[in-house]
Amino acid sequence: MHIVEIVVAISIFLIGLCALEYYTRNSRLPYVCWVVLMGLGYGMLSRDLIPTLPPLEKLLSPDIVLYVFLPLLIFDSSRKLEMKESKEVVLPSFLLATLGIVLNMFIMGGIIYGIATLVHAKIGWMDILLLSAIMSATDPVAVGTVFQVFPIPKKLKMLIEGESLLNDGTTVILFMLLSKIVLEHQPFHLISAVGSFAIAILGALLIGIIFAGIGSFLLYQWKALDDRFIAPMIPILFTYLSFVLAQAQFDISGVVAAMTTTLTFRILYRRMRPDEKPSKISQERYLGLWDFLGDIANVFLFFILGVEMGILFGQIAHWVILSGILALVIARATTVYTFGALFRPTKMRLPMPWQHVMNIGGLRGALCAALVLLIPHDYPFRTAFLSAALGMSLFTLIINPLVMRAYLKHTNLDKK
């Protein structure tokens, strides 16, 4: 795209977002649902009626998704985790976000593969596992709007948010591992894969801690915690640097590195004396900027996903959407209630109403959209993957918040 087309396209997109924000303020559906539908409409218009519309889908290449949007998504989710309360639920969150994601992936994959066999679809097991890995990450952002109306116990909220944050890293590592097998046709060896997984985690943790330490040192050395430019920029910039170094240079988990950088920044900040911390006005300014960037990243990815599916509307693989939704519902319920049963005899016991909320709260968000947009255009099942991602995301973003609202209206979550 020419630079003029890019400016016009981005301007149209932002004007559309502003209009959408105004006209959907009182909607019961999450804002991101309307963003996807807007993208779907834009894609269909540009394909059938107004082919001169700027090709917004061309703004995103896989590298832009990976190195521009993904670090920002991780930064946005990591900085919102309430660390003090999350200590109480770190173990169940970790188990759900690691073993739970693997279990969820295989259950989803088995169901979709079984349906694919019934409809005689020529798609391999490893390809389906790649799709299942993409759609395994949960995102509590949309259902969070329901939590504002119906308050839930803080421990339960931290459990849902902690699982969502930690499973981002697991999901991306699984995606990278499977994409090498499926897309790059590299051989799979279990021992090598487990070793690569461990190295990816440990190396990324080390990079994240080092970069957060350097960034915090600069903020302190430059006395810049109240500086309106330096203070909000340093955490973001060092998060990006840690992500790129881990992912591109060392081929380990950029997501875990970015997550560790953000959380380490927060730990170091909490240990500062009150007189060293920025003023309340400065903090609100930084948070406002970070919220804005995170919101833009979320809605842009969902919008582009909608645009791509609008353009490919006639090629949508309906069986993939239906089987994906069925597999997603069954896999999420099986994972949550299985781990709930395992936790029951321990101190990590989760009341059954909490398990119901966790099950309903398993929405699919911007990370799933980002990962599916990383699939190369020449991959034969890309359209099927886009169809599944759109269908599963819309289902959870529309149906789950409505079910959650109805459930919370008649449930006392404080009752054990």
pLDDT for 332 equals 94
Give the pLDDT of residue 143: 61
How many CB atoms are closer than 10 A to CB 356? 20
- The sign of the CA dihedral 274, 277, 282, 286 is negative
Q: What would the CATH number be for the domain defined by 3-409?
A: 1.20.1530.20
What's the pLDDT at 416?
A: 54
For tokens 């004396």, the residue is 273
Instruction: Give the residue-averaged pLDDT of 286-306.
Output: 88
- Residue 7 pLDDT level (bands cut at 50, 70, 90): confident
Q: What is the pLDDT of residue 127?
A: 93
Write out pLDDT tens, residues 182-197: 988 888 777 777 787 7
**pLDDT at residue 148, as a whole number:** 67
Closest among 414, 367, 394, 412 to 172, alpha carbons compared: 367
**In whole angstroms, what is the distance from residue 72 CA to residue 285 CA?**
18
pLDDT at position 36 is 87
CA angle at 386 for the pair 171 and 300, rounded to the nearest 5°: 80
Any idea where the domains of the chain sit in the sequence?
3-409
Residue 268 tokens, joined: 């170091």
Judge whether 55 and 236 are in contact, CB under 8 Å.
no
The mean predicted confidence, pLDDT, of the chain is 86
What is the pLDDT at residue 241? 96
Digit-coded pLDDT (tens) for 216-264? 999 988 888 888 889 999 999 999 999 999 998 888 888 889 999 999 9
| Global confidence as pTM | 0.84
